[in-house]
């Protein structure tokens, strides 16, 4: 039954990618000017180049036929060649060159969210109304109200320019320098996400701590740490896990601004450059890559919920 649930989720994800692929391909048709002018970009419009682009993108065929050829290439991760970002370079290669930095930044920010978001949220929930709860709630409210670009500029000025503790741009070389260069961007990206996790974990902890199984565990004489880690933490994390997909999707949009502020050569900066330069093939490739990432993230979140809470497995079996 669980395998059927996974297959159903995969089918929904593939359908979503098909719809996204059609919308993304339509960017070429709805862009200002003719498709051939868009694909030529700033290059000289020689007859040889025009014939080559018409043959490569099947521009003399009907729209749906063009889409079918493009989709066939996209399945093989062939999104054509860049027309302005890196002229005549394969889009797949360009995205691969920038994807590593974005993944490292996302992992760093995600680790910070886990380290600070869940413990602080549980501490605020357990000590409701006390000083800890008030300080954590106030801090999370400020963090959740600050846009990513404001947090980035603030951290950049205080810890990069004024105090000089961290580099202000670039990615550095080697593991130690890479961590130093990504610390401020990761904090700027994680601040908003951690604030959401804190609020969700606090609300979940307030509910969990009044459940009968918590009282029964205490009556059995279990240590407070075991009660918190084995019972309270596991059940408090479920709402956070189920919303993790939405948080990561929000992080993808915020990463565009954060990477631009700290001059990080990630996918976000690449997307902004491609949009500015009207490099439609690169925009199409990035959009499909981000769409696939969203599908994978949502599937991973659903599977994590099945692992954390046995009740969801019962629900899935009943629905199947």
Task: Reduce the DSSP state of residue 1 to 3 states and report it.
Answer: coil
Of 105, 89, 74, 97, which is closest to residue 256 (Cα–Cα)? 105
In a domain, residue 300? The reply is no
Please tell me whether residues 134 and 239 are part of one structural domain: yes
- How many domains, in total, are found in the chain? 2
Whole-prediction pTM: 0.75
Please tell me whether residues 265 and 152 are part of one structural domain: yes
The CATH number linked to 258 is 1.10.3720.10
Predicted confidence at residue 231, as pLDDT, reads 64
Please tell me whether residues 37 and 162 are part of one structural domain: no
Please tell me whether residues 15 and 127 are part of one structural domain: no
pLDDT in tens for each of the 320 residues of the chain? 567 767 777 788 888 888 888 888 887 677 776 667 767 766 777 787 778 777 777 777 788 888 888 888 888 888 877 877 777 788 888 888 888 888 888 888 888 888 888 888 878 877 787 888 888 888 888 888 877 778 888 888 888 888 888 887 777 777 888 888 888 888 888 888 888 888 888 877 777 777 666 776 777 767 776 777 666 766 666 667 666 666 777 777 677 788 888 888 888 888 888 877 777 788 888 888 888 887 887 777 777 766 666 555 555 455 55
Please tell me whether residues 116 and 231 are part of one structural domain: yes
Q: What φ, ψ does residue 123 adopt, rounded to 5°?
A: -60, -40
In a domain, residue 141? The reply is yes
Please tell me whether residues 63 and 111 are part of one structural domain: no
* Residue 113 DSSP one-character state: I
Q: Structural domain of residue 71, as residue ranges? A: 2-75
In a domain, residue 249? The reply is yes
Please tell me whether residues 118 and 7 are part of one structural domain: no
Of 130, 140, 255, 290, which is closest to residue 201 (Cα–Cα)? 140
Interatomic CA distance for residues 315 and 302, integer angstroms = 13
Of 248, 244, 234, which is closest to residue 290 (Cα–Cα)? 248
In a domain, residue 299? The reply is no
Please tell me whether residues 238 and 140 are part of one structural domain: yes
Please tell me whether residues 111 and 255 are part of one structural domain: yes
């Amino acid at each position: 039954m669980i395998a059927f649930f996974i297959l159903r989720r995969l089918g929904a994800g593939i359908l979503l990618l098909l719809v996204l692929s059609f919308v993304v391909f339509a960017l070429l048709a709805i862009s200002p000017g003719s498709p051939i002018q868009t694909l030529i970009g700033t290059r000289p419009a020689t007859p040889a180049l025009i014939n080559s682009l018409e043959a490569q993108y099947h521009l003399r065929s009907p729209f749906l036929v063009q889409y079918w050829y493009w989709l066939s290439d996209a399945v093989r991760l062939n999104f054509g060649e860049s027309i302005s970002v890196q002229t005549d370079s394969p889009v797949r290669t360009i995205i691969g060159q920038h994807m590593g930095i974005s993944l490292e930044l996302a992992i760093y920010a995600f680790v910070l969210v886990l380290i600070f978001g869940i413990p602080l949220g549980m501490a605020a929930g357990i000590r409701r109304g006390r000083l800890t709860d008030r300080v954590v709630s106030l801090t999370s409210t400020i963090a959740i109200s600050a846009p990513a670009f404001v947090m980035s500029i603030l951290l950049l000025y205080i810890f990069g320019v004024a105090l000089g503790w961290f580099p202000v741009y670039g990615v550095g070389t080697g593991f130690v320098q890479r961590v130093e260069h990504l610390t401020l961007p990761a904090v700027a990206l994680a601040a908003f996400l951690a604030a959401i996790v804190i609020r969700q974990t606090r609300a979940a902890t307030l509910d969990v701590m009044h459940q009968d199984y918590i009282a029964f565990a205490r009556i059995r004489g279990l240590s407070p740490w075991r009660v918190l880690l084995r019972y309270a933490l596991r059940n408090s994390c479920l709402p956070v896990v189920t919303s993790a997909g939405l948080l990561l999707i929000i992080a993808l949009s915020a990463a565009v601004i954060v990477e631009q502020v700290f001059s990080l050569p990630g996918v976000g900066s690449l997307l902004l450059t491609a949009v500015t330069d009207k490099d439609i093939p690169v925009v199409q490739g990035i959009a499909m890559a981000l769409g696939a990432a969203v599908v994978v993230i949502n599937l991973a979140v659903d599977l994590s919920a099945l692992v954390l809470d046995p009740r969801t497995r019962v629900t899935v079996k009943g629905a199947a």
